[in-house]
Chain A
Amino acid sequence: MEGVMQTETKIRAESGIESGPRGPGCSLRNFACEQNLLSRPDGSASFLQGDTSVLAGVYGPAEVKVSKEIFNKATLEVNLRPKIGLPGVAEKSRERLIRNTCEAVVLGALHPRTSITVVLQVVSDAGSLLACCLNAACMALVDAGVPMRALFCGVTCALDSDGTLLLDPTAKQEKEARAVLTFALDSVERKLLMSTTKGLYSDAELQQCLAAAQAASQHVFRFYRESLQRRYSKS
């Protein structure tokens, strides 16, 4: 794993020297996705970004507990499970971010008094975990056939100490970065659904990261489209 990470950074560093700090040295790691791999949930997806991997399962629209029932829309619950140990504060905060993102796009008003449950399991964390969780959740919601006004994706950007912008950073890059910014974007207008940041950055850098994330989101949505096309193709 270390070997893989090192070579990856090497490649990135080389291309960075060639084309300047903010040139086309940015890239997304290789993506892979498998839908409908679990039999029990209504929808499921496993999403891999490089070595980061998240498994998502969606139940819904289904029966809801009376205490959680909302009379005019579906109750959306997100459950994130870490790989080691019990869920803590970090997981709770991520759950909330993911839930808010999902609530923005899921058409819950079509299924009042029901519950939509998204269960996410971290399979391996090698950087950009929240973005991967968001992508997995979206693919699982699509697989479950939950009505949504748009698709969404997560993109993580990292800013180095010298201001170099990196997309989809690995765990090592995230650790060394001055700031890590994660955005959730919708597929229709490419607008921002959620953002969470860590570290110091200027407003110009924020806008740059957002623009880069928007550029990256096009690739992610194309990946979504192609994988769904393949899935619903006849051959």
Chain B
Amino acid sequence: MKETPLSNCERRFLLRAIEEKKRLDGRQTYDYRNIKISFGTDYGCCTVELGKTRVLGQVSCELVSPKLNRATEGILFFNLELSQMAAPAFEPGRQSDLLVKLNRLLERCLRNSKCIDTESLCVVAGEKVWQIRVDLHLLNHDGNIIDAASIAAIVALCHFRRPDVSVQGDEVTLYTLEERDPVPLSIHHMPICVSFAFFQQGTYLLVDPNEREERVMDGLLVIAMNKHREICTIQSSGGIMLLKDQVLRCSKIAGVKVAEITELIQKALANDQKVRKEGGKFGFAESIANQRITAFRMEKAPIDTSDVEEKAEEIISEAEPPSEVVSKPVLWTPGTAQIGEGIENSWGDLEDSEKEDEGGSDEAIILDSIKMDTGEVSNIGSQDAPIVLSDSEEEEMIILEPDKNPKKIRTQTISATQVKAPSKKPVKKRKKKRAAN
């Protein structure tokens, strides 16, 4: 499906509102939308909602052999997917420019900033290291994908626990979750992306643009920063020229926002950990807001299956017993065998009728053409009219015609001559007729 284009008046309206320092959702220039973080039952699974933008993150791990030039380092792999669920314009399985750009930015933000200690992921140098895979799925696109994705990625990485491994001599033992408590990844810092949208060649600036604002913006500046105010990545796109103090001002704002978001993430992680420790309920089921009228829950429902056996017996007794024919293989010649008698071959009959059909329809053609020549029978003529008119696209015309039509013609032909009426298909006849015409 194509993206619905933004009309000119909408565009003008949005730009004028921005000039007047107003935003459609009532935010101030530097305000972020509400961030909600919820965790799944598995380790390393989270959803992040940034306003209506929603990203699902899942971290998984696997033991692989390391890269040749990095024998003692684990591997980090990021994969952001733009699901069609997020917006109708995203096609499944297509690497769009936007997707490549976002994936690259994520890698720069999280891998190149060395926020994860990859050396701690090494099990046996040069032989076995952990590969950490971060899958991010965009579920709903309402602007600012990169901020939501970077938060989801770092939250999922912080939440993730990998199975414990012990090395004794040459032996590597992998412990299951029951045997030993899984270990968290060692994370040095938490880089978070903050997006700034620029309008009117950098005159106006907005933090956390939503989808509408993204569509009318001139340029975008993304700053990835951690709470120690260290810049991890900076990217300016859209081809706007920014002044030095504009960039500095943005980095100052980013510092404040990152501090707020980091605090929120830590609170969410601590909360989840507490619930897990106390053995309370956790997972997505708990994060569904119960007071909403669109949400509904049902407790565990016992189902009475005591009468299932009787019912099944009833059905089986009613059903016809399967035929008890046991076929013996017959060897005709070496390499040619037959199992069972087989049922009577109906293919031959079909072919016969097909042949007759051809023959019959030939006659029918003549008849039809005669009919048409000799001033068509009013009824049929009128019904046939659209078909005669259009010479091309026969097939479509044939399917569109009313059902009773072919029957009528057939009866007509039968009555006209005493031709043995074969069960011919109207389609075939039509085609022939066209040829005759």
Question: Which residues of A are interface residues toward B (Cβ below 8 A)?
Answer: 1-4, 22-24, 26-41, 44, 46, 48, 51, 53, 55, 57, 59, 62-63, 71-72, 79, 81, 83-85, 115, 117, 119, 121, 123-124, 126, 165, 167, 203-205, 207-208, 210-212, 215-216, 219, 223, 226-227, 230-231, 233
Contact = CB atoms under 8 A, between A and B. Distances in A.
B87 interface: yes
A126 B284 CA distance: 13
Interface stretch (B224-232, B304-312, B408-416): B304-312
- Most A Cβ at <10 Å: residue of B52, B285, B396: B285
Contact of A124 (B42, B86, B292, B315): B42
B296 A32 contact: yes
A84 B284 contact: no
B92 A62 contact: no
Interface string B170-212: 0000000110000000000000000000000000000000000
Contacts, number: 193
B295 A38 contact: no
A195 B142 CA distance: 38
A84 B42 CA distance: 13
Contact of B137 (A117, A121, A210, A223): A121
B304 A24 contact: yes
Contact of A26 (B84, B177, B303, B399): B303
B297 A31 contact: yes
B141 interface: yes
Contacts of B17: none
20 contacts: A2-B178, A22-B306, A24-B305, A32-B298, A39-B142, A48-B285, A55-B56, A55-B85, A57-B85, A57-B139, A119-B85, A121-B85, A124-B41, A124-B284, A207-B311, A211-B308, A212-B305, A219-B301, A230-B296, A231-B293
A159 to B, nearest CB: 12
Nearest to A34: B295
Given A55-B139, A62-B88, A207-B311, A223 B81 contact: no
Interface in B59-115: 60, 81, 83-88, 92
Q: In the complex, which range does the number of interface residues on chain B fall in?
A: 35 or more
A92 B173 CA distance: 36
Contacts of A81: 81, 83, 85, 92, 137
B137 A227 contact: no
B33 interface: no
Contacts of A84: 58, 60, 133, 135
B279 interface: yes
Given A51-B283, A84-B133, A124-B41, A22 B56 contact: no
B316 interface: yes
Contact of B86 (A4, A28, A40): A40
Interface string B41-60: 11001010000101010101
A29 B300 CA distance: 5
A39 B52 contact: yes
Contact of B40 (A26, A33, A53, A71): A53
B340 interface: no
B120 to A, nearest CB: 22
Contacts of B140: 38-41
Contacts of B375: none
A38 B298 contact: no
A126 B41 contact: yes
A124 B282 CA distance: 13
A87 to B, nearest CB: 8
B377 interface: no
Given A124-B40, A216-B303, A208 B308 contact: yes
Contacts of A2: 177-178
Nearest to A59: B88
Nearest to B52: A39
Contact of A48 (B178, B288, B301): B288
Contact of A38 (B45, B54, B288, B313): B54
B294 A36 contact: yes
B84 A119 contact: yes
Contacts of A57: 84-85, 139
A22 B296 CA distance: 30
A28 B300 CA distance: 6
The 6 closest A-B pairs by CB, nearest first: A227-B296, A207-B312, A57-B85, A119-B85, A34-B295, A211-B311
B1 interface: yes
B87 A30 contact: no
Contact of A165 (B133, B300, B304, B308): B308
Given A1-B283, A39-B52, A231-B296, 9 more contacts: A27-B303, A34-B292, A38-B140, A41-B85, A44-B85, A48-B288, A115-B1, A119-B84, A219-B301
